[in-house]
Structure 1
Amino acid sequence: MMQIEYLIPIVAFILAAYSVIGNDVIQTLGTFLTSNSDKKWWILWLYASVILAALLIYGWYVHNGDVSYGRLEQIPLPENMALWYLIPPVVLIILTRMGFPVSTTFLILSVFSTQAVIEKMIIKSVLGYGVAFVFAVGLYLLIANKLESKESLQRSGKSTNRKWLIAQWVSTGLLWGQWLIQDFANIYVYLPRKLGVQELIFSLFIILGLMAYLFKTRGGKIQEIVNSKSNTRHIRSATIIDLVYALILYLFANFSNIPMSTTWVFIGILAGREMAISYRLNKHEMKKSRNVIIKDLYKVNVGLVVSVLIAYLIGYLNSNY
């Protein structure tokens, strides 16, 4: 029995890492993968892996073994972890396979959190969606004609592609770093809040292996969310999306250490961008854009409802068994 109890956190961590990487990483690196589809997968993986390893080791060292950058301070690890704690990452894997951009913050962390913490996470995430949407609408209303029209994209051509390629790799690195600081908590919630050297190395090896699979398969089902949006295959467009996303995550990371849904921020940016581009360049497609936005918002809300239900289910199981 003790052996099973010891294995549950390890299995749960591996499942959580797989599900979070499969669902959330595409929101951060999706435009990077799309606009660099001509490059070998392992080059892109190596770039992302170096940043991840550096931030993980840095956070572990600076925070005395806490790789979550303090975001699990209000979310304690249960003394006894039963089998039903495996439910959240398994459900997340299923939803990811179905193409739902689910909030891993809600689905994974809600199970360990009190009602007060869950409410704070929801408020912060909804605020993140609103800020991202409004900011993206305002920005793209200003730049859509100049930077997102077919004519401007064609003019950018080969003469500026190299400059924009460098800019995109830099912006992706900034965004990737901000996302990791936010979402390490989702991956490591099943492990002790203070990791030893062996636990750190083991977890890093698992995460990098799962990322290699993701990059080799070019993102899987969730990548369709990115590919369906206007011009995301163009390096210049992808660069601007990444910079906006990184800026908003940075602002919220410094706002408080309460975890938030980066998924909601991502969907908010894409929604605001799509609305502004349609209004400026393709007014006849406004209805289609609204339908796409509603569909994406519906999917993340499904994840929220499922997360709350699972949190209540596990709370019930804990109190009755």
Structure 2
Amino acid sequence: MGKNYKTRPNFRLFDIFIEEKTFIIIVIVGFILAGASTAYNWQIAMWIGFMFVAYAAVANDSIQTIGTFIESNSDKKWWYLWLFIGIIFLATVCFSFFYYDGDVSYQRLQVTNEDGGLMFPHPKEFSFFQIIAPLVLLILTRLRMPVSTTFLLLSVFSASSSGITSIVYKSWTGYILAFILSFLIWNLAYDFIRKRFKSRQYNKAWTYVQWAVSGSLWSVWIMQDGANIAVFLPRQLEFYQFIIFSATIFIGLGLLFYFRGDKIQQIVSEKARISDVRAATLVDFSYVILLIYKLFISNIPMSTTWIFLGIIGGREIAISFARKKKGNKHKKKAFNLVLKDFGSAMAGLLISVALLAGVNSSIRDDISNLFEGLF
């Protein structure tokens, strides 16, 4: 009888609550702080929002930038990996801070609208929805959903709907390009890759190549997505603000490596042979090439999560088609993985739009007019 009781939904929910009680308490306290700070003082709200996003954005995006790095270096000490990635982070943001006069976003937060105003201005007062956006990201991350931090975080700071449509267009075109490129690489070169990578033994030079590629990818990602973390702070930081900003992220990275990517790491771990350092290097190399390409097209922010999902999705589908195994079981598994990740990313986009509508009345009107035109 005892075992039957444990299978009931109410007991399962209780087990989940016990397992995640610390996280649930943290989220509840976070919502309380968000409400209190927005009602009391905007500067306190600013720093609370930043502290939330500092860990939420890095933890969520670990799957797309350093997830393969963590997975393929699971035999290395966590603090060794942390120092490597952490020093690259500090070097990257220091360059932006000094070169762009206090701007750590590589001018992603300096993009202007048609009227000359900032597309993502720093608010004079913070709303409750802006502060809880990182908490929503934390919850979705805990559920192992690879949602776009760009959509979820920058959307609530957008001055108009044009800012979001610009991000969506650049991100979706990036997803399609990434999917096609990754599919072609792994489908056309699968036999060669399988032959060369068949042995579990590999030349140690691959490790150095992978660290160089992963370091480059991480640096370029910061140039693209650093805006997501800095969006709560002034567009030109004072030196003490920069110290707080960089030190907080550096410590957050340490926690991330200590927990080996935490729950969101499963998105990477479940993919076919991604723990092989050579496969991880090819994935990261194609990813960093696309990010560099998109980096120089325009200063408009984009979702690097969508680029990553395109890379991973194209690879999974290509491998499933290239394998000589009979039956459709492996093909169905690959399609299910891709659809699951795509669905999670779309869910994040819808949640972003809902939060955005709660923040900006003019965007609520735009959404209302859109639905009126459709129906």
Number of the residue aligned with 2:23 = none
The one-character-per-residue Cα deviations of 1:188-227 (angstroms, maximum 9, x if unpaired) are 0000000111111111111111110000000011111101
Following superposition, which runs of at least 4 residues in structure 1 exceed 3 angstroms of deviation?
316-319
Say whether residues 1:259 and 2:301 are aligned partners: yes
Amino acid at match of 2:186: Y
SS where residue 108 of structure 2 aligns?
A: coil
- Partner residue of 2:187 out of 136, 141, 166: 141
Number of the residue aligned with 2:206 = 164
Amino acid at match of 1:189: V
Amino acid at match of 1:267: L
Number of the residue aligned with 1:226 = 268
Report the CA distance between 1:28 and its aligned residue.
0.4
Checking the alignment, whether the CA contact within 8 Å between 2:109 and 2:120 is kept in structure 1 is: yes
Report the CA distance between 1:146 and its aligned residue.
1.5
Number of the residue aligned with 1:34 = 71
Report the CA distance between 1:282 and its aligned residue.
5.1
Number of the residue aligned with 1:58 = 95
Query: RCO (CA 8 Å, sep 6+): is it higher in 1 or 2?
Result: 1
With over 3 angstroms needed to count, the CA separation of the structure-2 counterparts of 1:282 and 1:77, relative to structure 1, is farther
- Partner residue of 1:132 out of 172, 178, 190: 178
Q: Which stretch shows the higher mean deviation, 3-12 or 187-196? A: 3-12
- Partner residue of 1:315 out of 334, 349, 360: 360
Q: Structure 2: how far apart are the matches of 1:237 and 1:282? A: 19
Greater gyration radius: 2
With over 3 angstroms needed to count, the CA separation of the structure-2 counterparts of 1:83 and 1:145, relative to structure 1, is same
Checking the alignment, whether the CA contact within 8 Å between 1:5 and 1:82 is kept in structure 2 is: no
Write out aligned runs for 1:214-293 (5 A).
Answer: 214-281=256-323, 284=327, 285-293=330-338
Aligned length: 315
Number of the residue aligned with 2:339 = 294
Q: Structure 1: how far apart are the matches of 2:99 and 2:244? A: 19
Checking the alignment, whether the CA contact within 8 Å between 2:50 and 2:232 is kept in structure 1 is: yes
Name the Cα RMSD after superposition.
Answer: 1.7
The one-character-per-residue Cα deviations of 1:102-141 (angstroms, maximum 9, x if unpaired) are 1000000001112001000000000010000000011111
SS where residue 360 of structure 2 aligns?
A: helix
Say whether residues 1:96 and 2:138 are aligned partners: no
With over 3 angstroms needed to count, the CA separation of the structure-2 counterparts of 1:278 and 1:13, relative to structure 1, is same
Q: Structure 2: how far apart are the matches of 1:115 and 1:317? A: 8
Report the CA distance between 1:316 and its aligned residue.
4.1
